Amino acid sequence: MIEWIIRRSVANRFLVMMGALFLSIWGTWTIINTPVDALPDLSDVQVIIKTSYPGQAPQIVENQVTYPLTTTMLSVPGAKTVRGFSQFGDSYVYVIFEDGTDLYWARSRVLEYLNQVQGKLPAGVSSEIGPDATGVGWIFEYALVDRNGKHDLSELRSLQDWFLKFELKTIPNVAEVASVGGVVKQYQIQVNPVKLSQYGISLPEVKQALESSNQEAGGSSVEMAEAEYMVRASGYLQSIDDFNNIVLKTGENGVPVYLRDVARVQTGPEMRRGIAELNGQGEVAGGVVILRSGKNARDVITAVRDKLETLKASLPEGVEIVTTYDRSQLIDRAIDNLSYKLLEEFIVVAVVCALFLWHVRSALVAIISLPLGLCIAFIVMHFQGLNANIMSLGGIAIAVGAMVDAAIVMIENAHKRLEEWDHQHPGEQIDNATRWKVITDASVEVGPALFISLLIITLSFIPIFTLEGQEGRLFGPLAFTKTYSMAGAAALAIIVIPILMGFWIRGKIPAETSNPLNRVLIKAYHPLLLRVLHWPKTTLLVAALSIFTVIWPLSQVGGEFLPKINEGDLLYMPSTLPGVSPAEAAALLQTTDKLIKSVPEVASVFGKTGKAETATDSAPLEMVETTIQLKPEDQWRPGMTIDKIIDELDRTVRLPGLANLWVPPIRNRIDMLSTGIKSPIGIKVSGTVLSDIDATAQSIE
C-alpha cells in the first residue's frame, strides 16, 4: 500500500506539487486567522444564573431564591454540579456541565428549566443568565478619570453606563461590558411614619401613588387642518419637584395630601456593592470587557482599543480613559516568544541537516517538510476549533525534531543509491528518467518502515487523549498539535518528499566519508561500539542500573498543575474581615493602592473591592481584587525579578487585618474556577451550628 502511494505520487508529481502549493496557501491563511490566546481555556462549561432581590438579607435570598433555583437545576440534562451562593440582595447559581457539552445547548436547557421555576420565586423577582463567556473571559479593563475635577462619580458612572458600555458592546465577539465602581444616582424617598399615621395613609398607598404618577400613555391620533397629530400623555417623573407634587389622597375638606407632606425626596447614591480606585488617587468608574467563549482574544482587544480611541473625542472635557488591564500584552509576549523559539528550532534543524547531509539542496528537501507539516497541523486545528497558545504551539515545538527524521533517512538512502549507480556506471551521466527511477526505488525501500515508525511516534500520545477535566483541557491542545504535526510529516514522507528529492537532488552527490563531520563521529563511535559489543552483559547491566539513578531526583522534584508563568501583571487579593462598610472598604482600597504604587516597577494600580455589574463576578464587598500592571522589564531596577518585586510589595503593604496574597490574574481565575478559593491552600469547615463553625475557623486561623 505504501509502495503504491509512493509510486503513484511520483508518477503524478505535477498534481501532487499543485496540491502541496494549495496546502501551503491554505495553511498560511489558517495560521493568520487562527484565534490566539496565552493559555488554553481550562474552565468548565458553565451557565450562571443571577437573580437580584434588592434589600434582602442573605438567609432570605437563600431560602426564597437560591434554594428553589438550585434544586430545579439539578434536573438539567448534562449538569454535573450545581453551586448556589447567596449574598445581600443577590443570588448566584452556577450550573456546571459535563465535558464536551455545547455551551449554547447548555444555555437553552437552563432557560427551559428557569421558566419552570419562575413562578416559585417572590413576586417581582426575575432571573437572568450570564453572558456566553468563560470564567477567564475578562480580557480588558479600563477606568474613567476626571483630570479637571468637574465631574463627580455619578457622572462618570453614567458616562460608562449610557455611552461607553453600549458602544463597546457593538464590537463583534464581545459578550458583555460590565460597569464597576462609581455611583449610580437614584431618587430616594424618606417617609415619615408619624405623618403617614396622621393623614391615615399606608405605605402601599404611597407606592401605588408613585407607580400611577410615573406613567406615559398613547391616545391614538387626531386630524386637524389636513394633518395628523399623535396624542400622548406624558407623565414620567423627571425632577424632585415632580415627586413632591404627587397627590397621595384628598382630604374630607377637598385639600390634597402631597408626597412632600409625608416624606422627604432627595437624590443619592444607590447602595454600593462594588468600588473602584486608581493609583491611590481616589475612586473612579470603570468597565470590564468580557470575551465571548472560544473567540480570538487578541483581535477583540485590538478592536476594543481602536473603539476607545475613536470615542475619546466624544468624552467631556477633562475625562480620560485609562487602560488598567490588557491581556493582549501577555498574549503577544507568549506567542512571540514561542514563535521565536520555533524559528530557532527550525534554524537549528536546517543547520544540522546541511552539516550532516553535506548537500544544500538535499537539506532543503528536509527543511521544507517543516512548514508544510506546520500548515497541516494548523488546518486541522482550525477545523477542530483549537486556538494558538503556549500549549498548542508547544506540541508543534516537540514534534519539529521528529518531523524531519523520515525526510533525512530517505535523502540519505537516495544518496546511497545514486552513489551506487555512479559506481556501477563509471563515466556515465545519469539521465532524468533514470534518476527518478533510482530515487523512487530508494523511497520505496525505506518509505513503509519510516511511515510506520512515524505513526508509532504519533500514537505515543494516545494516553494524553484519555485525560478528562482540566487536565485534558490543558494537555489536549499539546497532544493534538503534536499528533497532527507527526501525522502530517508521515503523509509528506511518502507523498511529497520523494518528489522533492527527484527535483532537488541533482549534481554531484558527496560520499558519506567525504563529510569531515561524519568522519570525526565515525572515528569516535566505531571503537566505542566495538567495546560495548565485546562486553554485552556488562553494558546491559550498567544500562539497567542507570535507571535507578533517577529515583532520588524524581522524589525531590515538586509537582504543580500549571507551570509558573510571568503574566506581566499581578493581582493583589488580601483576605479581609467580613462585614466591612462601603466607606471603610473604599478607604482601605485607596490606602493599599497608594502603597503598591510606591514601588518603582509598578506602572498602574486598579483596585476593586466588591463586584462588577456582571453575573461573572460574585465577589462580596470585603473581597479585594487589585490589578497591578508592571512596567516593561527594561525599566526595572538592576537585579529585580518578579519574585523580588512580590517580596517588596508584601513588605510594603502591611496593614492590620489583611492577609496578603499576590497571584497572576489568569492563574488566579483558573484556580478559583477549579477550587472556589483564591489561595493555593484552603481549609473548609463544615457543620450545623454557624457559631461553632466560626469559632473553629478562628482557631484554625
Q: Which range is least confidently modeled, 53-62, 169-178, 485-494, 547-556?
A: 547-556
Q: Which CATH architecture is the domain 186-217+234-269 placed in? A: 2-Layer Sandwich (3.30)
> What pLDDT is attached to residue 43?
80
Largest Cα separation within the chain, whole Å, is 132
Do the Cβ atoms of 474 and 42 come closer than 8 Å?
yes
> What pLDDT is attached to residue 212?
84
pLDDT tens-digit readout, 216-261: 877 778 888 778 888 887 778 888 888 888 888 887 777 888 888 8
| Percent above pLDDT 70 for the chain | 96
What is the 3-state secondary structure of 213-233? HCEEEEEEEEEECCEEEEEEE
- Determine if the pTM surpasses 0.85: no
Checking if the pLDDT of 337 tops 70, the result is yes
* Interval 343-352 mean pLDDT: 78
| Helix, strand, or coil (residue 264) | strand
Q: Could you give the residue range(s) of every CATH 1.20.1640.10 domain in the chain?
A: 2-33+359-509
Checking if the pLDDT of 512 tops 70, the result is no
* Interval 407-431 mean pLDDT: 79
203/217 Cα distance (integer angstroms): 26
> What pLDDT is attached to residue 255?
84
Question: And the C-alpha cell for 562?
Answer: 500549571
Q: Could you give the residue range(s) of every CATH 3.30.70.1430 domain in the chain?
A: 44-133, 569-700
The residue among 271 and 310 whose pLDDT is bigger is 310
620: left (phi over 0), alpha (psi -120 to 50) or beta: beta
* Interval 263-276 mean pLDDT: 88
Q: Could you give the residue range(s) of every CATH 3.30.2090.10 domain in the chain?
A: 186-217+234-269
pLDDT band for position 168 (50/70/90)? very high
pLDDT tens-digit readout, 639-677: 888 889 999 999 999 888 788 888 888 877 777 766 666
Do the Cβ atoms of 152 and 284 come closer than 8 Å?
no
Instruction: Report whether CATH 3.30.70.1430 matches the domain 44-133.
Output: yes
* Interval 516-529 mean pLDDT: 82
Q: Which CATH number fits domain 569-700: 3.30.1380.20, 3.40.50.720, 3.30.70.1430, 1.20.1260.10?
A: 3.30.70.1430
Contacts (Cβ under 8 Å, ≥6 apart) of 224: none
The residue among 647 and 405 whose pLDDT is bigger is 647
Question: Taking the domain 2-33+359-509, which CATH number applies?
Answer: 1.20.1640.10
